[in-house]
Each structure stands twice: as C-alpha cells, then as structure tokens.
C-alpha cells in the first residue's frame, strides 16, 4: 500500500479514531464494512443515517468523501479494518499514563510548562462522555463557561461541584452558584457540600470544599491549586498536574461518584 497516495484517507481515519470513543468507531467500521458500492450515494447516506451523533455524522461524511475521491480502489473491508486498528491504537495511547506539570505565573526558560487555563480547557474540550469540574470559588470565567456549555451541547454528562456560598461562613464573597450562569444550571448537574455533611472543630468551625480538579471520561485528570477565577487561571502563581491514562483519573472520578451516591454531595435543583 502506497501510504503517500492514501495519505488523505489515512489522516481522516486517524482524526476519527483520535476524537471518537472506541465503541463508536467500531460501529462506524461495522457500517462501512457492509458497503458494497463505494460510489453509491445511497450507500453513503445509509452509513451516515446509522449514526446518532450529529457531529460524528459530519466526520464520517468527510471520511467517506475523502475515501471516494482519493482512494476509491480501497475496499470497504480495508477501511473498516484501518478504523478499528487506529481506534485501538488511540485507545492504548490514551490509557497509557502520562503526567505533565501545569503552571500560571512568572516563567523561566528551564522547563516548559502548560498554562492553567489551557490545561483546564483541554480537559473540558476532550470530554466525550462525562466530565466533572470541582472548584472552591467561581468568578469571571466566561471562556470556561462557554466550553462547559459546548460540552453539554455535544452530549457530555457534565457535573460541576462548587462551594456553597451560604455554608462558606464568609470565606467567599461571590455567589458561586450564580456565577456559573443560568445555562450551566439548566444543562449540567451542579453539586454542593451541604453544611449538614461537614465536620467541625471544638469551636464550631466547619471545613470548606477546597478541591480544584477536572476529570474527563475517567482518563484525563487535572489537579490544580487554581480556583475557577479569571485571576487564578491567568494571573496568579498557581501549580497543577495533568494526568492522562492510568488508574488515577478513574479513581478520583469514582470517589466523587460515591460521595454523590452517599449524599455527602448534594445536587442543586
């Protein structure tokens, strides 16, 4: 097989495998493998109509068009097999753990570090199935808010956990729930840590929800010192870590799921 000749088709296959969950790629491969005439408009429409997700329909349509235009001699079975192989490779790469540092603040030239806002947006934008974002404070985060709304629009199950302004005992000045915005409150699941579930010391002081993290699809975990505020994401000195693959993203996700299940975290309705 001449890779250069089929470069456009291979690139479309790679993009699809990188951006779409493995089980959905398998469904697409199954539909393509049943194609009998690659030049048939009916066959193309049949494959696309078998897909429920609107954005995936567009990607598969582009793949099909590239296939017909650039590599029409390539059999449906070969394209289907290439999709499956590429998806399994992409899945393995996602599951293999990688760790990188994330930083906001004064730069040095010694170690290149990711920016905090870029890392958080990466987690939100990569989510395909589920996303959890946790923060103590929420303030002036329009870019993050829009990314969360876009995630809900593409079918991601979005959960946001923030400090309850009423339970913070004056530790925060902003209404975190209000700062999320009406669209997030309507489209995402928003949780707080109710006062009744918090421990307190001998003087009656309660703990705070001080976690800052984001988890996408149990595979990408961002832990940071930065709150969801414009200053924390862009101006403060903040340090975090971005973890892809391995067991940690899934473990943290499961921990929060059980906190919700045990009602330690309560959904705002």
Tens digit of pLDDT for each residue in 46-94?
888 888 777 788 888 898 889 888 888 889 999 999 999 999 888 887 7
| pLDDT band at residue 169 using 50, 70 and 90 as cut-offs | low
Torsion of CA 109, 113, 118, 119, to 10 degrees: 180
Give the mean model confidence (pLDDT) for residues 243-247: 88
- Residue 112 — pLDDT band, cuts 50, 70, 90? low
- Percentage of the chain beyond pLDDT 90 is 38
Mean residue pLDDT of the chain comes to 86
Q: Where in the chain is the domain with CATH 3.30.870.10?
A: 97-267
Instruction: Place 166 in a pLDDT band, splitting at 50, 70 and 90.
Output: low
Contact of 148 with 141, CB cutoff 8 Å: no
Query: 17 and 89 in contact (C-beta within 8 Å)?
Result: yes
- β-pairing, 228-229 with 138-139? parallel
Q: Which residue has the higher pLDDT, 222 or 91?
A: 222
Mean pLDDT, rounded, for 224-237: 85
Q: Do 17 and 90 contact (CB within 8 A), yes or no?
A: yes
In this prediction, residues 84-105 reach a mean pLDDT of 86
pLDDT digit string, tens, across residues 6-35: 888 999 899 888 888 888 889 889 989 888
Q: What is the mean pLDDT of residues 180-209?
A: 87
Q: pLDDT-based confidence at 172, cuts 50/70/90?
A: low
Most confident of 89-103, 115-129, 154-168, 175-189: 115-129
Cα–Cα distance list, 43 to 57, 67, 70, 204 (Å): 14, 13, 18, 69
pTM confidence score: 0.64
**Quick check: 170 pLDDT over 60?**
no
Q: With CA atoms as reference, report the closest residue to 193 among 121, 147, 136.
A: 136
CATH of domain 97-267: 3.30.870.10
């Amino acid at each position: 097989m001449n890779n250069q000749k089929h470069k456009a088709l291979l690139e479309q296959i790679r993009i699809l495998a990188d951006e779409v969950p493995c089980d959905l790629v398998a469904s697409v491969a199954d539909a393509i493998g049943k194609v009998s005439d690659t030049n048939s408009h009916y066959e193309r429409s049949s494959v696309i109509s078998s897909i429920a997700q609107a954005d995936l329909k567009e990607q598969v349509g582009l793949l099909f068009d590239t296939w017909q235009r650039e590599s029409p001699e390539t059999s449906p079975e070969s394209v289907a097999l290439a999709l499956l192989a590429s998806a399994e490779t992409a899945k393995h790469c996602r599951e293999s753990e990688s760790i990188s540092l994330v930083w906001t603040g004064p730069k040095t030239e010694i170690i290149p570090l990711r920016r905090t806002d870029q890392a958080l947006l990466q987690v939100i934008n990569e989510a395909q199935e589920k996303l959890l974002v946790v923060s103590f404070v929420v303030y002036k985060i329009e870019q993050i808010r829009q990314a969360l709304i876009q995630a809900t629009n593409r079918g991601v199950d979005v959960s946001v956990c923030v400090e309850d302004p009423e339970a913070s005992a004056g530790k925060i000045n902003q209404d975190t729930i209000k700062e999320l915005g009406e669209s997030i409150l309507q489209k995402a699941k928003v949780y707080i840590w109710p006062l009744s579930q918090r421990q307190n010391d001998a003087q009656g002081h309660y703990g705070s929800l001080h976690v800052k993290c984001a988890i996408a699809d149990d595979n990408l975990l961002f832990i940071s010192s930065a709150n969801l505020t414009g200053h924390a994401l862009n101006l403060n000195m903040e340090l975090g870590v971005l973890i892809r693959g391995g067991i940690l993203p899934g473990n943290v996700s499961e921990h929060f799921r059980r906190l919700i299940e045990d009602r330690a975290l309560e959904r705002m309705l």
